[in-house]
Amino acid sequence: MECLRKMKKKHRIKKNDEFQEVFQRGVSTANRQFVVYTLDRPGQPYFRIGLSVSKKLGKAVTRNRIKRYIRQCFLELKEEIVPGKDYVVIARQPVSEMSYTEVKKSFIHVLRKAGALKNGTKSRPSV
């Protein structure tokens, strides 16, 4: 169960220049709650994620809750997410008032739209 509790360091994007590269060279996909930037990394056998939650969304407690929800979604979906890519997720205003179930449903929607899930765009989210 250790793998479900924490995201490994190699799966995280932390440095500003790495974020900037994904923003500049990546492809963006969005819905009302999230913007996801995707950048192909052909030699990388795993995916990496970076999270951006603006101070406009609320105080630190709210922003940290949103980041926990997004990280948990990635952990639960990690077997379905296409490896060899970097993903930067930007949370938008509606997320601050959503439950985990709503966040997960919306997040699966935007990942499908971005082509980030292995099972394609036709199947329904299992929430």
* Residue 124 falls inside a structural domain: no
Residue 93: its pLDDT value, please? 93
Range of the domain at 57: 7-83+90-114
Q: What is the CA radius of gyration of the chain?
A: 14
Q: What's the whole-number mean pLDDT along residues 45-70?
A: 95
User: Which CATH number characterizes residue 95's domain?
Assistant: 3.30.230.10
pLDDT, tens only, 75-126: 999 899 999 999 999 999 999 999 999 999 999 999 999 999 987 544 444 4
Residue whose token pair is 């795993």: 46
Residue whose token pair is 């190699």: 10
Look up residue 6 and give its two tokens: 């924490």
Length of the chain: 127
* Residue 123 falls inside a structural domain: no
Whether 4 has a pLDDT exceeding 80, the answer reads no
Q: Which amino acid is at 46?
A: Y
% of residues, the chain, pLDDT over 70: 90
Whether 72 has a pLDDT exceeding 90, the answer reads yes
Assign 11 a pLDDT band (cuts: 50, 70, 90). confident
CA 48, distance to chain mean position in Å, is: 9
* Residue 120 falls inside a structural domain: no
